[in-house]
Structure 1
Amino acid sequence: MHAELPKRYAKGGRPQGDPADLRTATIGVRVSAAEYALLRERAASMQMKPAQWLRTAALSRRLPPPPVATINREQYAELARLAANLNQLTRLANEGQHVNIAPALLAETQRLRLLLLGVKDNVDDR
C-alpha cells in the first residue's frame, strides 16, 4: 500500500471571501481617449484602478432626480398660478382685510393636488 502523505496544516493562498460579495456582472462603458486619460489620472491620484475608481464614484454619489412627467409639469404650472392667487389672499387676510375665497379656487386646488398624487376619481382615500 501507499504510505500516507503528510497532511498540510493550512492551505496556502488568499482566504476565500463571502460568495455573496463576489463580483460577477460586467458593465461596459465606452469613453473617448481624453475621457479615459482623465479617468486613469483620477484613479491614479487615489491609488486605484480605473474600474475600481468608477465603481466607487458611481456608488457613492447621489443621482439626479428623474425627469418630471409632462402631465406633472403642466399641472405644476396651473398650481403655481393658483398658489400665487392664494398667497395674495393670505397677504390681504394678514393685513386685516376681509377676504372671500371662491369655492371654485379651492375645488381647483384640490383637483390639482389629487392629480399630482395620481388619484383619478377625485377621492383621496389615504
Structure 2
Amino acid sequence: MGEEQQNLETIMGLIINGGNAKSDAMEAIRAAKKGQFDEADQKLKDADAALGEAHKSQTGMLTKEASGDPVAVSLLMVHGQDHLMNAITFRDLAAEVVDVYKKMAGVEFSED
C-alpha cells in the first residue's frame, strides 16, 4: 500500500471514530435524559472505545513524524484532527451532563 493511501486510511480512521465517539456521547445524554443510566454509562464506554481507536490512528502518524518522516498536512488531515478534538471535548461534556441527570434523579455517580 502506498504512503498516500496509508495516510488517507489513517485520516479516515480519525474522522469515522471521532464521529462515532461524538454520536455515542450524544446518545449517552439522550439516555440519561430518559433516566436510562445503565445505557448512558455504556454509551460513554462506547465513546471511549471509539476515541481509543482514533488515538491509535493519530499515534501512528505522530510516531512517524517524530521519527523524522514528515507527514503531509492536508485539509482532510486537519478535518480529521478537528473531528477527534471535538469528539474528545463532547465526550467529556457528555459525562458531566449524564452526572447532572443522575444527581437530579438521586442516583449515585462518580465525582471525579
- TM-score range normalised by the length of the shorter chain: 0.3 to 0.5
TM-score (norm 1): 0.37
Which structure ranks higher in relative contact order (CA pairs < 8 Å, sequence separation ≥ 6)?
Answer: 2
Which of the two has higher C-alpha Rg?
1
TM (norm. structure 2) is 0.41
More helix by share: 2
